[in-house]
Amino acid sequence: MVGIVLISHSARLAAEVAELAAQIGGRDVPIAAAGGTDDGRLGTSITKVSDAITTVDQGDGVVLLMDLGSAVLTARTLLDESPHPRVFLADAPFVEGAISALVTSGAGADVKAVLDAAEEARHIGKL
């Protein structure tokens, strides 16, 4: 099953979005919140993101969703320094993308389909 990592500047926001996505999409999908800095402040942490990837990686790939610009930079920096061939950055809205990714992963889709589902969530609510 494809794992999902939520990278946020806020530990609480990441945890709450993970909880919401799990309630909607099912609790069997590996999902981890990587929010806040190592000392508990607002910001992002390469260590937290790396640990979260390790936690959810079951061999089928991992999709990362980020809340704000520097969360993207943290994720990119981590992947540049230590490439993970099955880890992908989603260009997706944080909440809607997380829910779409989790539901798609729970349905047994491969990592490309999970990534596509997260990114398609950009269009939710648009006419």
Does the active-site annotation cover 123?
Answer: no
127 pLDDT more than 60: no
Q: Mean pLDDT, the chain, as a whole number?
A: 94
> Does the domain at residues 3-123 carry the CATH identifier 3.40.50.510?
yes
d(CA 37, CA 78): 15
Of 9, 14, 56, 57, the catalytic one is: 9
At 20-54, the pLDDT tens digits run 999 998 779 999 999 999 999 999 999 999 999 99
d(CA 103, CA 119): 13
Residue 29 pLDDT: 95
d(CA 94, CA 77): 19
At 38-97, the pLDDT tens digits run 999 999 999 999 999 999 999 999 999 999 888 999 999 999 998 889 999 999 999 999
Query: For 11, how many CA atoms within 13 A lie in the half-sphere containing its CB?
Result: 10
Q: Are 18 and 6 in contact (CB under 8 A)?
A: yes
Query: Where do the domains of the chain lie?
Result: 3-123
100 pLDDT more than 60: yes
Residue 122 pLDDT: 87
